Amino acid sequence: MLLELKQIGKTFGGITALSDVSFQLEKGLILGLIGPNGAGKTTIFNMITGIFPPTTGSITFDGKSLVQMPPHKITELGIARTFQNIRLFGHMTALENVKVGMHTVTKAGYWSSLLHLPQQKREERHVRERSLELLEFVGLQDVADVRSDTLAYGQQRRLEIARALATNPKLLLLDEPAAGMIESETRQLDELIRKIRNNGTTVLLVEHDMPLVMGLCDKVVCINFGVKIAEGRPEEIQNHPDVIEAYLGKEDEE
């Protein structure tokens, strides 16, 4: 059991965003989190990554509780994420963005950087090599030195994934990675995510693109109005009446 959410609840002031949501994610699986907009999916992501704590309930990762842990520590533990509305370091190049991702797996500090100690120089070489590898992994090796905020939308999405992978995560959280993509791009994304999983990273993904989710995920959890309404394999979810109602609404009773 890599990630476990138990009876998670979150209220913001008077608004209940989530109540009594529980699910588990086993190592090596791809889990899809679906639900209409505003259902609470990104809130779940934000709580897993420590942006704010749950009001009730527990989140355990690899046996450790994530509640009240600061975000940078959570990343050190092995959870990385991408953002729904892309948060790249705009003025930095693609390569530099990925290098930042390697922050937790390197350790050169102020003095070793200043004095250009041999181990720092070695580490920098390693950082550069690995970052280029990751860019190649997502197909961006040709734009390594391009300023990231000038890249095309699809490229920016892939860069965010490369950057997250640089942290060497055990669990990768993807927040609507296919948003705004055309079909060919989505197919490439599907391949990429499979490659990531095959390399040993567990994936938790929030998505609206149903064909992608149903084709890719091993398990799907559906949230609506802050409550889990269904959980299971893609085939089960596709035909689940509550899920269909959540997306399409109830049939009028004649």
Nearer to another protein, 109 or 200 (CB): 109
Cβ nearer to another protein, comparing 139 with 215: 139
Of 99 and 157, CB closest to another protein: 99
Residue type, 100: V
Per-residue CA distances from 55 to 11, 18, 33, 108 (Å): 6, 9, 20, 37
Q: How far is the CB of 120 from another protein (least distance, A)?
A: 7
Task: Report in angstroms how near the CB of residue 18 gets to another protein at its nearest.
Answer: 20
**Min CB(115)–another protein separation in Å:** 8
Q: Which residues of 205-237 are buried (b: 16+ CB within 10 A; e: fewer)?
A: bbbebeebbbebbebbbbbbebebbbbeebeeb
Conformation bin of residue 176: beta by default, left when phi > 0, alpha when psi is -120 to 50:
left
Q: Whole-number minimum distance, CB 136 to another protein, in Å?
A: 14
- Give me the residues that bind another protein (CB under 8 A), please: 49, 51, 70-72, 75-76, 80-81, 83, 87-93, 95-96, 99-101, 103-104, 106-110, 113-114, 116, 120, 123-124, 127-128, 144-145, 147, 163, 167
- Is the CB of 91 or the CB of 250 nearer to another protein? 91
Q: Which is nearer to another protein, 52 or 153 (CB)?
A: 52
Q: How far is the CB of 234 from another protein (least distance, A)?
A: 28
What is the closest distance, in whole angstroms, from the C-beta atom of residue 42 to another protein in the complex? 13
Tell me the H-state helices in 15-93: 41-48, 71-77
Shortest Cβ 151–another protein spacing (Å): 15
Based on its alpha-carbon atoms, the radius of gyration of the chain, rounded to whole angstroms, reads 19
Q: How far apart are CA 234 and CA 67, in angstroms?
A: 30
Task: State which residue, 127 or 223, has the beta carbon closest to another protein.
Answer: 127
d(CA 127, CA 96): 10
HEC string of 85-127? CCCCCCCCEHHHHHHHHHHHHCCCCHHHHHCCCHHHHHHHHHH
Which DSSP state fits 152?
-
Of 62 and 124, which CB lies nearer to another protein in the complex structure? 124
* Helices 153-165/94-101 angle, 10° precision: 30
